[in-house]
Amino acid sequence: MKSNKETGPDDIPADVWKVLGDRGSVWLATLFNKIVAGGRTPDVWQTSVTVPVWKGKGDIASIDCTSYRPIRLLCHTMKVFERVLEARLRKIVSVSLKQCGFVKYCSTIDAIHDVRILLEKHREKNRSVHLAFLDLEKGFDRVPHELLWMSMRSHRVPEKYVRWTKLLYVKPTSVDRCAAVQVGVHQGSSLSPLLFILCMDTITKEIQKQHPWTLLFADDVMLASESRDDLQKQVQSWKDQLQQYGLRLNTSKTEYMECGPRIEDGSIRVDGTELNKLNCFKYLGSKVTSTGDIDQESRARVNAAWMKTTEQVTPWNYPKKGFENKSKHTSHLKNGREADRSSRGETRRTRLYRTILDV
């Protein structure tokens, strides 16, 4: 675990166990063995402090709760226990190859690359493709606890590990105002990402088999089809399937995009609601356009790099201050470039920016 992180209700940071070294490891092993043998965790582990964290979009001063993500500050000792349990679970379970989130050797770059290849191949053949980007309403916070246990068992997790996980969800409460938490995984927990993708894999496995052009990054879902009607049926199927297990599709934030030589009017509908149609969508931090090119993404990266540069450069410290950490600025240019096809315009822009940094 990283150092200098905010502590949970017990005020014991992970740095304590790092300082204690082997003695701390022995003490933790003894504690964890007593917990699993007795079937009970310390009471303080069931309490967390909820802190709203701005999502980076929308008005930061807004009172609208949808602009914030509730993060629970959990006990660090509990997180160490979760890490031990997670390591054992990952040796047992496997999820769909279409899931790129929280999976070893996968990242957002893989998902972005797959989307760009899909668009590029259709562009080469002068054919249209229709995309839908699904938004799950509070995905991590709406997972029923019974779905967690069902998902673990369906992935053949030994019953003892299911019992250990249940210990963490006996009577969880969160303090801003003290309230019992009946659904959802712990935001900020080490184990929650794995539990969530197991749930997504369990409830959508059959739908994924029917449609090969499906990509998941945790709760970010991309569906694609060469037919608008077929895509509409896919989105409706996903909505119905998610709703069956207590999850909700946010139709107001689910977006539709048509890519191809001839863009037609209209969008797709879900339960009678027409989805918002876009020409450009920011998918996992990378801009995907209906034309399939990367000019907008290239400009966005250069602008982000310039913003970082101008934050440090002033008339009084130019050129020494701004460019002494050139690697920090150029990292914004590299973000997601592994997923890009070669582009003359993109190369020209980034080369110009690098030339200026070298002045």
pLDDT (average), residues 231-239: 96
pLDDT (average), residues 7-21: 91
Question: Where do the domains of the chain lie?
Answer: 15-95+142-190, 108-138+195-287, 295-357
pLDDT in tens, 306-358: 777 666 655 545 554 444 555 555 555 555 555 555 444 445 555 554 554 55
- Can you give the three-state secondary structure of 230-257, one letter per residue? HHHHHHHHHHHHHHHCCCCECCCCCEEE
Dmax over Cα atoms in the chain, in whole Å? 68
Outline where DSSP puts E strands in 181-248. Answer: 214-217, 220-225
Distance CA 217, CA 227 (A): 23
* CATH of segment(s) 108-138+195-287: 3.30.70
pLDDT (average), residues 231-237: 96
Cβ atoms of 150 and 202 within 8 Å: the answer is yes
User: Residue 224: beta bridge partners?
Assistant: 131
pLDDT in tens, 18-33: 999 999 999 999 999 9
Summary mean pLDDT of the chain = 84
Model confidence band, residue 247 (pLDDT cutoffs 50, 70, 90):
very high
Cβ atoms of 253 and 135 within 8 Å: the answer is yes
Lookup: tokens for 261: 């030589």
Closest residue by Cα to residue 138 from 188, 199, 187, 194: 187
- pLDDT number for residue 55: 72
Residues in the chain: 359
